[in-house]
Structure 1
């Protein structure tokens, strides 16, 4: 298979009448479209496009929906590459992305997005036409453009049906001309610094991800879609679901709880923030529960943790940064076996009484969820795996299509992102000296040593669009410098420990990785978000957003809670309890001062679309708070 046109057309033959995508209706039922309907609609859409040649770019600014997928596949069928973004795209990004990508056509979700586009239409240089997915978007006639042709999605489909009947072989002819290294999608990163960079991913990049996916899905599986589909992680997961004939159900954060009960999904892609939120909700409910319920929950989770950890040792899946000696292995195995057998019956009893109810909240059929787009805090990671909801953390980036490593149900080592993805090679480099001390292509392995991760494989991007300088900075001789710091464990897994660009250098010259400290702080039920600061300072401090649920007794909203002296004192005590020598932190890694914030970090402001901290933005925005901590 040399391109995604072949892949998509093959779906119609493999799973003609199977449901492909399902959308929630007003009566709370889900209406599905079959694979045959999906491919027919996409084919019609492609033939309804005007003035498009293979290699052109077509932008797609919309959120998860069936029409999004039809448009995306249709753009692929036309031989063009899509340029995706969410419907909440800013005017600044609209102008930059459309002009930089030289997109000829733009597909938007509805009239509201269209109005944003028309605010800057005089500054758009390459765009010729706008297509609106929502059928009511143009019917009122209230939205007009003096520069662009405007059409409804349904009109494009109808025109395509006519064109398809006149030229039935056009799609096959285009398919024969598309090569594996041709551009499939151009994704503009919402990076933490500078203008967005256009990541060029080819047909071969995407197909390699599907070929090597180590997770089993079946035709009857139900996948819940909650992450933005324009993000490559969710998109790859939906393509993977299609490859296996599974059905994807579209939901959103507001109706997730309800839809989990209705759909009873068997698998889903997710982000760390989702699990942190669910974990916080569970802990918040326990705080308000009766003494008896608190006691039962504590016993159940402690028994489950013992069961999980001992089982990990018995299966050889306990985290091992360096290899164990033979005698240590034997000792650990015997100890774990004894503890496993002693605790098994009490665990099973409390699991059925307490933990099974938590699992039912996810629908009761969830076999697992792949978490990506950011680091999953260890306490959250272990909690869900402990109570029987397998969270398979993965690691990657847009520039690698995205997966570099991922855990599987059969290789689940908590605290790591799993073994390397099929076809992937890595090097670990000492970022200070440039020494390559681990290189999987040469069989050079050193366990337990931290280094900068460089990746080589079929998933590595072609480069940044029209930006050779930026490409050359991150790709050398086919090796992609991720900028992440990792350790290769004796389990054969990768553990992410920070980023070279995030490293804080204190006045005394000490190098500090803020991510492990932040992860430890986030274990506290009192802390919702945080960022450690201290570059060129004598000591570390932290900006902290308190957890409203856990501290509701001190105020009705965040501003009231943050302004309470008692809250600051409680959080200060919590920070001291979490970050100290007893927890494995060095003296210079202690957080000395804190500033309690009255506003959460939000996507588009302090957070990227992947929910990563925009450290430079936060540092600038809270400069006064930071200075105050160092007075």
Structure 2
């Protein structure tokens, strides 16, 4: 049994051999397979060449690239040398790249293409990098830059001559050896280098894989940045379980769903929000969907929603935040049984006629998606689970490599992020540090249910620390407990429910603590709002920065006599502003459970969307302090 991630590659090569491991595209966007044996051999050959170049065990090797076959080969080779990779995507800024390479002391660097090479060359003199290797076989490169495939061939020759240095390095890897050094996105100051060990990822491989029930018949669709630990863990899980991984991107995703017909995929909430809005807008638009088909969809969804809700309750998967009385539960169970019986046949018929056609848009074989990297809006979560696409929402962070908890097929409780991962402990502590709830390693729970506090985790997935940053490490880790900075509680179904972010908490002048995420998620239910950030720190009341969903807004404007078509002019129109005031008030009101101090009052509209690399992290999380600083003048104006 594999003791480190390098051995996982080796064992999968022996076990799955000629089964396809990865599918990458040729010039005509046709998927070309690489099998497990080819993958392992390529990684081994490249590792042998790297060792021949002078790469020692336990070095740091930079990798600036997006997901592609060469990334996987380079990752495997790095591990086979006993080194740790320092990965980042091609959208990295020059200051970030300079800091990461200088701080990590990387002497070898893989770059994806000529564009990344140009970016590196501008900061090269400020780093310790001595060897640069080009991944793209079609790149021009330049003198002194090595080619990945030429190195693979060189390693093949060395191994043919009897060299087995890479195999020796693999056998020498210890559980606490560094596997990867991932730098955080730097939303608050300089990036921190998260040190993840082989033992961290082996926990995810050995203990989380069974929860996902993946096997050699699965096809994974890969769209998230592979350098990010969420997608990276999925990659290792796929390799371990013999599943095939298909690489895609946002531009080709619709076509690739049809080509790959995936059975499983990791995803960020924004992806499913986009798909949901696409379906919603198409169904609601009379130009695209005639009234009869619209009525048919609404009827199908009605029966599907009620049938699935009834089945969830009967299976014990309906969230319980109050500790229901057994007698009440009994009668609710009877009601659910009646609903399930009455809705079963119409659900079955309409699902086959209507909803199965929607599922075909994802290839028709998708048995589940694992959503992580941010909170999935409840209406989006409910919609996909109710039309037959199961969403296994998980929770984690880079520092926990990443899974802390995840929903499973047996315990799919919406409104939660699932059961705590095996061999892990979670504590819910109040702001004074007192333990309110403790989920022990054996799964037993001590303390109060539904007591809200800060989530702490301890277990084999928790990082070694922050590289060359003992102060930050000591702040985040105490006695092995990781302070996640997230707010949550253990509900009466023994699963974890997140309620906000401690660091995102808005404190109003009156002393009220407000969690912005639930408010933002509710307001995102409006088809006229694309993005939003709640503000109001040290103010009397909450405000918001709103980016409209412009296609829908323009339709509304045309129907309501607003003549402006330019987006900047449109958001300044008094009629438009009044419309958004009403839209916000309707959703963010007492009838939806919001207290008076949780209701947004002043707001302003912005035409430029929040973008990755600027206002958003790679997983679409808001960089709140950057957005606040960027719009400080407008914020000051609405509060003046």
Distance in 1 of aligned mates of 2:566 and 2:257: 29
CA contact (8 A) 1:313 1:333 kept: yes
SS in 1 for 2:497: strand
Decide which moves more: 128-137 or 379-388. Answer: 128-137
Distance in 2 of aligned mates of 1:525 and 1:390: 23
* 1:137 Cα offset (Å): 2.2
Q: TM-score, normalised on structure 2?
A: 0.95
Distance in 2 of aligned mates of 1:556 and 1:76: 54
- Say if 1:74 and 1:452 are closer, same or farther in 2 by CA, change over 3 A: same
CA contact (8 A) 1:284 1:549 kept: no
* Counterpart position of 2:571: 562
The partner residue of 1:500 within 499, 502, 526 is 502
The partner residue of 2:151 within 128, 133, 156 is 156
SS in 2 for 1:223: strand
The partner residue of 1:582 within 577, 591, 594 is 591
Structure 2 unaligned runs (5+)?
558-563
CA contact (8 A) 1:317 1:411 kept: yes
* 1:560 Cα offset (Å): 4.8
Decide which moves more: 499-508 or 560-569. Answer: 560-569
> Alpha-carbon deviations, 1:62-120, whole Å to 9, x = none?
01111100000000001110000011211001110000000010000011100110011
Distance in 2 of aligned mates of 1:561 and 1:371: 35
* Counterpart position of 2:345: 345
* Counterpart position of 2:75: 72
Decide which moves more: 108-117 or 149-158. Answer: 149-158
User: Where do 1:402-413 residues align within 5 Å?
Assistant: 402-413=402-413
Distance in 1 of aligned mates of 2:445 and 2:244: 40
CA contact (8 A) 2:66 2:89 kept: yes
> Alpha-carbon deviations, 1:597-621, whole Å to 9, x = none?
1111000110011211000011011
Decide which moves more: 577-586 or 234-243. Answer: 577-586
Distance in 2 of aligned mates of 1:515 and 1:550: 23
* Counterpart position of 1:594: 603
User: Where do 1:228-627 residues align within 5 Å?
Assistant: 228-288=225-285, 289-431=289-431, 433-441=432-440, 443-553=445-555, 554=557, 558-627=567-636
Question: In the alignment, is residue 5 of structure 1 matched against residue 6 of structure 2?
Answer: yes
Question: How many residue pairs were aligned?
Answer: 622
Distance in 1 of aligned mates of 2:354 and 2:552: 21
* Counterpart position of 2:192: 197
- Say if 1:478 and 1:121 are closer, same or farther in 2 by CA, change over 3 A: same
CA contact (8 A) 2:92 2:613 kept: no
Distance in 1 of aligned mates of 2:380 and 2:193: 33
SS in 1 for 2:526: coil
* Counterpart position of 2:206: 211
Distance in 2 of aligned mates of 1:414 and 1:270: 17
CA contact (8 A) 1:208 1:458 kept: yes
CA contact (8 A) 1:558 1:599 kept: no
> Alpha-carbon deviations, 1:392-444, whole Å to 9, x = none?
1100000000000001121111111011111110110001x221111223842
* 1:191 Cα offset (Å): 3.4
SS in 1 for 2:294: helix
Structure 1 unaligned runs (5+)?
none
- Say if 1:10 and 1:347 are closer, same or farther in 2 by CA, change over 3 A: same
> Alpha-carbon deviations, 1:263-296, whole Å to 9, x = none?
1111111110000110111111123232223222
CA contact (8 A) 2:262 2:366 kept: yes
User: Where do 1:88-99 residues align within 5 Å?
Assistant: 88-99=91-102
* 1:556 Cα offset (Å): 5.5
Distance in 2 of aligned mates of 1:491 and 1:133: 48
* 1:561 Cα offset (Å): 4.0
- Say if 1:40 and 1:335 are closer, same or farther in 2 by CA, change over 3 A: same
> Alpha-carbon deviations, 1:471-503, whole Å to 9, x = none?
000100000000000011111110111111111
* 1:24 Cα offset (Å): 2.0
> Alpha-carbon deviations, 1:21-52, whole Å to 9, x = none?
01122344311011110000001111111121
Distance in 2 of aligned mates of 1:557 and 1:401: 45
Question: In the alignment, is residue 19 of structure 1 matched against residue 20 of structure 2?
Answer: yes
CA contact (8 A) 2:222 2:246 kept: yes
Decide which moves more: 232-241 or 289-298. Answer: 289-298
* 1:567 Cα offset (Å): 2.8
SS in 2 for 1:391: coil
The partner residue of 1:185 within 180, 185, 198 is 180
Question: In the alignment, is residue 222 of structure 1 matched against residue 224 of structure 2?
Answer: no
SS in 2 for 1:496: strand
Decide which moves more: 292-301 or 34-43. Answer: 292-301
